[in-house]
Chains A and B, each alone.
Chain A
Amino acid sequence: MADASLVTLTIEGRQVAVPAGTSILEAAKTAGVLIPHYCYHPGLPVAGVCRMCLVEVEKAPKLAPACATAVAEGQVVHVHSEKSLEARKGVLEFLLINHPLDCPICDQAGECELQDYTYREGRAHGRLKEPKRFNPAEDFGGDVLYVTNRCILCTRCVRFMDDVAHDPVLNVSERGDRAVIGKFEGRDLTHPWAGNVIDLCPVGALVSKDFLNKARAWELDRTPSICPNCSQGCNAILETRDNMVVRMRPRPNGDVNQYFLCDHGRLNYRWMNRTDRVEAPLVRQGDRLAAADWDRALHAAGMLLNGKRVHALVSPMLSNESLYLLSELVEQTGGRGTFRVERGAEAPLPGVPDLALRAERAANVRGAEMLGFEKSDTPLAGLQPDEVLLVAGDDLHDLDADTLASASAIIVLGPTLPEVARTAAVVLPTTNMAEEEGTFTNLRGRVQRYMQAKAPPGMARPVWWAAGDLLTLLGGRGGYFLASEAFGALAGARPEFAGMTYDTLGLRGQMLSGDAESAGVAR
């Protein structure tokens, strides 16, 4: 942007230059100053109603709402002056007079902006002598419970449903201190993206029924991740407690999902906590599968593969790293690879361009296709008796044992051992995406990292590790110990990934080369 359109101002003694039209609140962020606020949210239209972000602007007659005041050249803004602090203290007191102060039983406690700001800037004692207002809680449908008494009427939820979801099912009802967030009888928060109102709510008024009373915010470990539940690749945070994923929430990324995550995605995490796992490598001994160490199991698998063509049935939920090394394995044996994808109805979020719950309900369809795997509804069609079937991540549902039996041998790499694969010769226990580090390529060609959120069970290893070791046994190049090394190998081998490293990907991802320009046009 040309310098001419930049406005220079001073916020808390720090000079910043921001594009004309920027709000004081956003300008302050660039100076590292957080101006406390409730109703403002960068993903929603400005309401300017909570009046928490009032700041002192020199030469202005009144305090200015930082969210709704554009920067002006030479402005001098005080966020923590006595007048601003007094104003915020006043707002906090007003917000709390009818608040139940039920932090000990509130899911929001620990991540509540009312709690945080009150602790930092609020009055030590309330002055209310009258009884508090009371309203019953209400089930808003979907995953959303409205705890009316905690509501501060910031209207973020209403604005999200109106302006982003384009489904105005919420309203502000009544006036004055009788006002509440309302809905129409029989019209619930069933929009596929409605769950975002829970994240948007800065207090404990809109809470998740799924997460209700499950954990305290401070007990959670938070890991940057990618929602694996469709090909959109929404950036997410996996929250774990005691090695269990208990919640998935959106992580902002303006290039993918803004601030949002759909209900299908956010609520579809229980499989990450499955306990019926294969915890040790298994090798067939007669009519049974016996536990073995990795070396023995890999060796057994290598023997089976030697001189045979591989038919790899992979999962589009596997990482680029895993799929790459599997594709190398396929190539090494002159075999082929297929995969299948679960499908569902596409559900766009109308207020955000190119954001939808995608019909293909898997994170790495694009990666699988690009790495040479063929998408098919009958992925085992044409399985030959001289082929070794290598199942990687596919749970084999709806496939029958007879079809599988036509292969010369079955090797399973998976977190669980499907019933129909009980005849497998070797079973290698692998991690699910929450238990490993890796990357997915979304439908637009964006390569994005996810981090390990929980420990894998027993001896489970990422697929790329096992596949790389198998590749080495067959004389190929594998044997990686870090996901970043596996990714480096991929980047070195495939021109679409050229130049990418985990560092360059960062937490926002990078477009495949060749997709970058077309994506720029599309957006």
Chain B
Amino acid sequence: MTVDEKGSAAAAERAPHGANGGHPHQEDYEPVFTGEVRRELDELLTRYPTRMAALLPALWMVQHERGWVSEAAMAEVAEVLRLTPAYVKGVVTFYTMYHQHPVGQHFIQVCTTSPCGACGAEEVVKAFLEHTGCGELGLTSPDGRYTVIEVECLGACGFATPVMVNDEFIESVTPARVPELLAELR
């Protein structure tokens, strides 16, 4: 799935359910784990002695398909893995990489932990906020294209400032490079 498809999938999901999503048995909820995705999960389950162990991978599959993990999707994952929705939600909220709300088509994470902070990461953040039109951290730009957040240590401190755009890792970003990087995303 390309970034573009993911973005529009996220937008489509947003429309009928609102931010909280719906119940998995609601008529307008389309299950994630059917067909090829279901087969992928079944294959994955053979790697672990418990179904629960497939929870993080299953949530990744949801996010890959839908762009975010709605409450309805959490309930579906719970059903598939024989867990409870509350349990799944407890896990989802522990890990920062699962989006609990739809995000922009390009989800931009800038590392600002001390090592990168000492190398000017704050300026990189400012440049992204300015050039994407997001204005504030965590908000999605009016055109739905961008969401910019600060992220804790990305584990690439020697390449300050590292930035992740969706699944792509960009090293050694400076404020001056930001407009050019954004142009490449268009």
Contact = CB atoms under 8 A, between A and B. Distances in A.
Would A and B touch once assembled, by the CB under 8 A criterion?
Answer: yes
Contacts of B20: 185
A186 B23 contact: yes
A187 B84 contact: yes
A63 to B, nearest CB: 27
Secondary structure dominating the interface of B: helix
A175 B92 CA distance: 11
A184 B84 contact: yes
B93 A168 contact: no
B12 interface: no
A383 interface: no
Interface size class of A (residues with CB under 8 A): 10 to 19
B48 interface: no
Interface size class of B (residues with CB under 8 A): 10 to 19
Secondary structure dominating the interface of A: loop
B23 A182 contact: no
Q: Which of B71, B74, B86 has the most CB of A within 10 A?
A: B86
Contact of B94 (A168, A175, A184, A187): A175
Nearest to B74: A184
Contacts of A168: 83-84, 86-87
Contacts of B23: 186
Contacts, number: 38
A182 B94 contact: no
Nearest to A161: B86
Contacts of B90: 171-173, 182
A169 interface: yes
Interface string A166-200: 01111111110000001111110000000000000
Interface in B154-179: none
B51 interface: no
Contact of B93 (A182, A183, A185): A182
A184 B93 contact: no
B75 interface: yes
Contacts of A186: 23
A167 B85 CA distance: 11
Contacts of B83: 168
A175 B71 CA distance: 18
B64 interface: no
Contacts of B94: 174-175
Nearest to B23: A186
Contact of B86 (A169, A174, A175): A169
A186 B85 CA distance: 10
Interface string B1-17: 00000000000000000
B93 A187 contact: no
Contacts of A170: 86
Contacts of A175: 93-94
B93 A173 contact: yes
A173 B84 CA distance: 14
A182 B93 CA distance: 10
Contact of A171 (B71, B75, B86): B86
A183 B71 CA distance: 12
A185 B71 contact: yes
Contacts of B87: 168, 171
Contacts of B86: 168-171, 182-184, 187
Contacts of B93: 173-175, 182
20 contacts: A168-B84, A168-B86, A168-B87, A169-B84, A169-B86, A170-B86, A171-B89, A173-B89, A173-B93, A174-B93, A175-B93, A182-B93, A184-B74, A184-B85, A184-B89, A185-B20, A186-B23, A187-B84, A187-B85, A187-B86
Interface of B: 20, 23, 71, 74-75, 83-87, 89-90, 93-94
